[in-house]
Structure 1
């Protein structure tokens, strides 16, 4: 614990110190710009990666215009407006077909009654995302039928829903649990009510959200002879034990469908199961998270189907009593918007904060150092241009000195490049500029050397002519030539190689001509060196 506190304290101190540095006037503007750019670039990169969203997902709901299909349309609207995700809402015959589509991989999500989904959930084949309605069992009969509870359906003609529907499944569970023998009818909704009003049926079983089915409401308004009969508490308790998590005790409140006359006439005990949005365990967690968040963030818009959501800010009704919840959905229920997952992880992880800050800080310092090197190199480039201009002024008078100066400058550049104070790009530019000037110096020196050689040859020609007429004057001129060479060498007008070459040329001339020209044929001694 103390180690963690120490890391957090050190991280805060480091952030605070760097913040003060950024605010200080002594901090170079480049640091502020570079660090800010790096940090913002990192955030943009993170947010961009987090904000990459799938184009669409598919949902199997219910018959066009039906309860489940309308819920599906609301899901599509929620996801489109909150997270930019398109939901393709596919018509179906209800919960059982939706479940089969999901298990076979034909769709990504499905709306299914919880009692129908329970077995597949226990087997680990599907997982829940959210409850979107509580569906109540309605047992509807004529007031003159004499039926007072579900147990009175023994031997009666009962419409239990169309084959494969959720209504059919739940009704069959009730009949099985109560061990009833009835005359089953598979008529659809409209046909079943026609038969009931014509006394061709004794009762109709319907499963749906309170008041959400306008067609059912209209049936009660148009037919005041209809009533809803209760389910005995003993059957409710038995079914809850037999199918744990699938059902719960419920009450149909008085006046739910009409107020005058009241329908139902009094609170009716019944049983309910949830309408659940489900998906497969291997479904992309990011998609599941986005769909879950879109539902949570627009929960009140589902109150038409799920009245418990009307007067609450909590998302608890969306998962109340749910088992086998998809991990991505569970995380959204606990932490919120999945698109902010990185921010939450950042806030909870002090080690990550410290590590990322160090990375950003060192990266920024590296950029600052590189920027400094670049600026220093640019400055050196300007200084070199000025230095070469100065040496050019010396070039005409003393090319040898100019060459020495440019070579010293080139050596200085090499050392700075080796030390890392000069970028490769700038070093190459410096070498190009100084090499050009050095070549110019050498060209001038070569021209001077050739001129000296030509001058020497002319002097030797003159000396040879004088030697024929006046040997003493010739010796004097020879000494003068030697002295001129020394003076030029000492004043750097010629280099040592040129000096040696000139002396050798002079000596060869003297050795060749002197014996024939000196008085008495005496050999001419080697001139002083």
Structure 2
């Protein structure tokens, strides 16, 4: 049952809708399709060489330590560091505020890689949302996609919140500004006719939500996360019983925003939930690894190669990664694929 649920969840998140809505569609082909269309670029791609006379240092921006981003980033760094004699690359991982922070840090050159939700990648490359004033972020590059992430609404069982509409008047953590869940939360509220003025919004990191809920400071919180999640499990095991609230009636989101797709949460991951079983309806995005066009081909090549060639070991790092496939690594990408990654994908017959 668990394997079937993971498969279905991955399948649903891989089948993203294509276009429409108020947000502008990309003017150019993106991700894998854009690279395939550029035959001259494909012809010029060559395996990078590595300078063993000088070590290269690279950092991956992730998220909270109890989420999926942090262990995923750690696994990538460990794989590359294990081959330091071959690549002469030293990788480190940093816990950060999430997608927007990571994308901006990568573009500024403060970090070489960052974990980011597919919606944030789309918005940055198209110059919308947080990047509306700056315009399209033309240096942003895709490396690969990771696991599906589902917007999860956790509420105290004693708060009487059975639907997303019931949040009205309650204190709700919508995530820190600049995080993926902050935007996902406001989109979900807007889709059911609620605004931030209808709730008592709290804007702190999702990782702090469990303590706030248990202390009675908030009654509910949103968290965009891969499942099973250690942070969600922690919340279900507190003295104050919790439920996962279905997020339904948001069908308009799928036409308006091409990166959102329906998803489900398997309650069997969380046996301590208050009187819940089966699957809970919601929607989600995908986690992706991004970089900048300024990062050398060899560094991106090494990262891509080590993850693909050690995919079984990588999947074992977290249950949320169990459904990751070679094909899935190339889905959900909006920014052009970095040449360093494209070199390896071509060699591996993935393109």
Structure 1 counterpart of 2:77 = 76
What pairs up with 1:4-83 in 2 under 5 angstroms? 50-52=49-51, 55-63=56-64, 67-82=68-83
Is the counterpart of residue 241 in structure 1 residue 255 in structure 2? yes
User: Which SS does the other structure have where 1:222 is aligned?
Assistant: coil
- Find the aligned partners of 1:65 and 1:91 in 2 and give their Cα distance: 10
Shift, 1:267, TM fit: 0.3
Q: 1:223 to 1:240 in 2, by over 3 A?
A: farther
- Find the aligned partners of 1:190 and 1:284 in 2 and give their Cα distance: 33
- Find the aligned partners of 2:161 and 2:309 in 1 and give their Cα distance: 44
Q: Which has the larger radius of gyration?
A: 1
Structure 2 counterpart of 1:333 = 345
Is the counterpart of residue 291 in structure 1 residue 335 in structure 2? no
Is residue 300–residue 309 contact of structure 1 (8 Å, CA) maintained in 2? no
Which of 219, 225, 234 is the matching residue for 1:208? 225
- Find the aligned partners of 2:190 and 2:246 in 1 and give their Cα distance: 17
Q: 1:192 to 1:248 in 2, by over 3 A?
A: same
Q: Deviations over 1:461-496 (max 9, x none)?
A: xxxxxxxxxxxxxxxxxxxxxxxxxxxxxxxxxxxx
Q: 1:320 to 1:186 in 2, by over 3 A?
A: same
Is residue 48–residue 297 contact of structure 2 (8 Å, CA) maintained in 1? no
The structure where strand makes up a greater share of residues is 2
Shift, 1:131, TM fit: 1.4
Compare 293-302 and 195-204 and name the one that shifted more.
195-204
- Find the aligned partners of 1:62 and 1:321 in 2 and give their Cα distance: 20
Shift, 1:71, TM fit: 2.0
Is the counterpart of residue 183 in structure 1 residue 200 in structure 2? yes
Structure 2 counterpart of 1:267 = 279
Is the counterpart of residue 256 in structure 1 residue 269 in structure 2? yes
The structure where helix makes up a greater share of residues is 1
Is the counterpart of residue 121 in structure 1 residue 122 in structure 2? no
Q: Deviations over 1:339-380 (max 9, x none)?
A: xxxxxxxxxxxxxxxxxxxxxxxxxxxxxxxxxxxxxxxxxx
- Find the aligned partners of 1:185 and 1:195 in 2 and give their Cα distance: 10
TM-score by length of 2: 0.71
Is the counterpart of residue 173 in structure 1 residue 187 in structure 2? yes
Structure 1 counterpart of 2:110 = 106
Is the counterpart of residue 151 in structure 1 residue 165 in structure 2? yes
Is residue 140–residue 205 contact of structure 1 (8 Å, CA) maintained in 2? yes
Q: 1:69 to 1:51 in 2, by over 3 A?
A: same
What pairs up with 1:260-409 in 2 under 5 angstroms? 264-303=276-315, 307=319, 310=322, 314-324=325-335, 325-336=337-348
User: Which SS does the other structure have where 1:287 is aligned?
Assistant: helix
Shift, 1:263, TM fit: 7.7
Alpha-carbon RMSD across the aligned residues, in angstroms, is 3.1
Structure 2 counterpart of 1:139 = 153
Shift, 1:105, TM fit: 1.8
Shift, 1:120, TM fit: 1.6
Shift, 1:101, TM fit: 0.9
Q: 1:63 to 1:140 in 2, by over 3 A?
A: closer
User: Which SS does the other structure have where 2:175 is aligned?
Assistant: coil
Is residue 250–residue 270 contact of structure 1 (8 Å, CA) maintained in 2? yes
Is residue 63–residue 92 contact of structure 1 (8 Å, CA) maintained in 2? yes
Structure 1: gaps (5+ residues):
1-47, 339-529
Shift, 1:309, TM fit: 5.1
Structure 2 counterpart of 1:162 = 176
- Equivalent residue pairs, number: 286
Structure 2: gaps (5+ residues):
1-46, 127-135
- Find the aligned partners of 1:153 and 1:248 in 2 and give their Cα distance: 22
TM-score by length of 1: 0.49
Is residue 286–residue 328 contact of structure 1 (8 Å, CA) maintained in 2? yes
Shift, 1:156, TM fit: 2.7
Which of 92, 96, 100 is the matching residue for 2:96? 92
User: Which SS does the other structure have where 1:215 is aligned?
Assistant: helix
Is residue 118–residue 333 contact of structure 2 (8 Å, CA) maintained in 1? no
Q: 1:183 to 1:105 in 2, by over 3 A?
A: same
- Find the aligned partners of 2:233 and 2:333 in 1 and give their Cα distance: 29
